[in-house]
Chains A and B, each alone.
Chain A
Amino acid sequence: MDLSAINPVLLLASLMVAATPIILAAVGELIVERAGVLNLGVEGMMITGAVCGFIVAVNTGSPLLGFIGAAIGGAMLSLLFGFLTQFLLANQVATGLALTLFGLGLSALMGQNYIGIKAPEFPDWHIPLLGDIPVIGPIVFQHDPMVYVGLAIVVAVWAFLKYSRAGLILRAVGENHEAAHALGYHVVRVRMLAIMFGGACAGLGGAYLSLVRVPQWTEGMTAGAGWIALAIVVFASWKPMRLLLGAYLFGGVTVLQLNLQAAGMAIPVEYLSMSPYLATIAVLVIMRAGRAPGSLGQSFHASR
C-alpha cells in the first residue's frame, strides 16, 4: 500500500466534480419539499435531463444549449408530476416512484440513436489569478463552469428562502397550506413553480453526467444519483448550506474509494464500493433529522 500516491489536492478537486450532479438535483428537490411536495421522481427527471441535454448538445454542438435543453426536459417531466399531484390530487409517493420508472424508460427510448456518440467538448475554466493560487487554486478555481453554477444555485436558494418575500410565501405554503390559502396565497401555483424548478435542477444534474463527467450517453447512467440526492435533502434537514456538506461527503467517499483501490489498499473492493451508501445511512441515523416542512407530502384542495 502506498498512500502517498494519493494527491490530496487532486482528491479534493475531483470531489468537487463528483458532488456536482448530486448538489444540483438535491437543491432542486429541497425547494420542492420546502413547498410541501414530496417528489420521489428525482432519478427519473435526472436521467431525462441527461438524455435531453445530450441530444441538444450533439445536434447544436453547444454544451451550453445542451444544459438549457436538459433543464427544460427535466421541467417538462416534472410538469407531468405536478399535474397529477396538484390538480388530480394523486398520491405523491406513488406518482413520484412512477415518474422515476417512466423517466428511465423514456430516456432509453429517446437516447437509442445517441449511444456511442461523443459529446461536444466543455472546457474547464482556468480562472485567472485565483486559479494560480497554490493548493486552493487547483481545488476550487480550475473547474468547468457548471461546478460554479451549482454552487451559485445553492447560495441563491439559501438567500431566496432566508431573505425574500417570495421565499417566505413558499415556506408558508410548505408549513401549513391551509393557513397560506386563508391568507390569499395561491398554493397550487406556488407548488407548481417549485416542482418545475426542482425538475429543471434535476435535469441539469443529469446533463452534468452525460455532458461533462462521462461524457457520453448510456441507458441508466445516473445509477442511483437521484436517490442519493433525496437522502441528502433529509440529511441537510432542508437547509441549503448543510446540503453542500452532505453532497461533498458523498462525493468524497466515492472518489476516495477508487483512490484507495489504485493505491493498493487491501480492503475488499465490495466494502469500498458500498461505503458511500453506508456513510449516507450512518449520517442519517446519527444526525437527528431536522423537522420536515409541516405539509410535506399532503395534497391540497381549496374546497377543504
Chain B
Amino acid sequence: MTMKTILAGATLAASLSTTAFADDPTKVGFIYVGPVGDGGWTYEHNQGRLAVEEEFGDAVETVFVESVPEGADAERVMQQMALGGADLIFTTSFGYMDPTINVAEKFPDVMFEHATGYKQADNVSVYSARFYEGRAVQGHIAGQMTESNVIGYIGSFPIPEVIRGINSAYIHAKAVNPDVEFKIVWAYTWFDPAKEAEAASVLIEQGADVILQHTDSTAPQAAAQAAGNVVTFGQASDMAEFGPFPRVSSIIDDWAPYYIARTQAVMDGTWESTNTWDGIGAGMVGIGEISDAVPADVKASAEALRDSLASGEYHAFTGPLNKQDGSAWLADGETADDGTLAGMSFYVEGLTGDIPQ
C-alpha cells in the first residue's frame, strides 16, 4: 500500500467520522490537574463527569484529559478540545484561569466553566464551593481532638481559596481551644505524594497531632496512619479508606448537580455566563461521616455547626475578627462580604508566620 492510499483512507475515515457525529451529542470536555485516581479533588470532578454521562446517556459525549500542568500546556489542551468539537469545557483548577480566558477569546461559540477562579467573560462562567464552611467544621473538631495543641496544615499554593481555608479552620479551632497553634507548610503543589508525605511527617515530628491538608493525595493520611496517634480529615473526597482513624471526617466536593445543570443549559441554549459560589446549604460541599473516634458531644456540636452553616443562620467569618497585624477587620456580629473573601490575602489575628508572596 502506498503512502497515497493510506492518506486517502485516513481522509475518508476522518470525513466519515465527522458526518457520523455532525448533529449529535453535546460534547462536554473536562480538564483535570491530577490523575482521576488521586482519591481527592480530581476524583470528585470525574465523578461529576460520570454523573453527567449517566443523566443524559447518548445525548452527551464527554472527554477528559488528566494531569494537565497549569500553564502553557493547559492552553494547548483546551484549544485541542475546542477544535475537537467540545460545546462546553470545564477547567477544574485555579491555575487554569488565564489559559481559560485566552482560549475562550478564540472560541466564542464554546462555553467555558472555570473552577475556583474569579475572571469571567461572555463565554466563561466561574464556579466554586464554599469550602471554608467545611473548614470551619474541621477546625471545630480539630481544636477539640488535639492534645498537643499543635495543628499542622499542609497548604498548596498561597492563593485566596487556601488562605480562606486556613483562616476559617483557625478561627473555629481557636473558639473551642484558646491554646491552639497552627503550623503551616507550603508544598507548592496540588498533587505530589512524596512531598505531601514528607510535609506531613515533618509536621508530626514537630508535635502536630492533627493534620489538615489542602493538597489532593492521600499520602498525608498514610503518613498519619503510620504515626499512629494523628488525626486527619479527608480533603475534596471522603477518603473513607483511612477511617475511622486517622481520618475522622472530611470535606466532600459534590460537583454532579452543577455539572448536570450546566450541561442541560447548553443543550437548551439557555447557558449564560454566571458566577456560582455554593456551600453546604446547596449541597456543593458535603461533610463526610464523623467517625466514632470523635467523642459524641464533639460530634453533636460539629453537626450543629454544620447545620447552622447550611441554613445560613451562621456565617463562618463572623466578627469580632482582627487581621494578623491587629487591625480591625469585622465588627461584632458583622459578617464578611463575598468580595473580601474571594480575594482574601491576609491571615486573621493569632496565626503566625507570613503568607509567601
A→B interface (CB under 8 Å): 5-7, 10-11, 14, 18, 115-118, 209, 213-216, 218-219, 221, 223, 254-255, 258-259, 261-264, 266, 268-270, 273
Contact = CB atoms under 8 A, between A and B. Distances in A.
A266 B354 contact: yes
A269 B202 CA distance: 15
A219 B42 CA distance: 15
Contact of A259 (B67, B197, B206, B222): B206
Contacts of B353: 264, 266
Interface string B176-208: 000000011110100111110111011101110
B41 to A, nearest CB: 12
A262 B152 contact: yes
Contacts of A213: 194, 197-198
B73 interface: no
A18 B202 CA distance: 12
B186 A5 contact: no
B219 A214 contact: yes
A209 B195 CA distance: 11
Contact of B241 (A5, A118, A261): A118
Interface stretch (B7-15, B31-39, B91-99, B127-135): B31-39
B185 A262 contact: yes
Contacts of A18: 198
A206 to B, nearest CB: 11
A264 B202 contact: no
B167 interface: no
A209 B185 CA distance: 21
A204 to B, nearest CB: 16
Interface residues of B, number: 37
B218 A216 contact: yes
Contacts of A221: 192-194
A81 to B, nearest CB: 25
B222 A215 contact: yes
Given A118-B241, A259-B205, A214 B194 contact: yes
B276 interface: no
Nearest to B40: A116
A270 B201 CA distance: 20
A214 B193 CA distance: 6
A216 B193 contact: yes
B235 interface: no
A209 B206 CA distance: 23
A258 B199 contact: yes
Q: Which residue of A259, A262, A266 has the most chain B CB atoms within 10 A of its CB atom?
A: A262
Given A115-B38, A116-B39, A264-B352, A269 B218 contact: no
Contacts of B194: 209, 213-214, 218, 221, 223
A60 B152 CA distance: 35
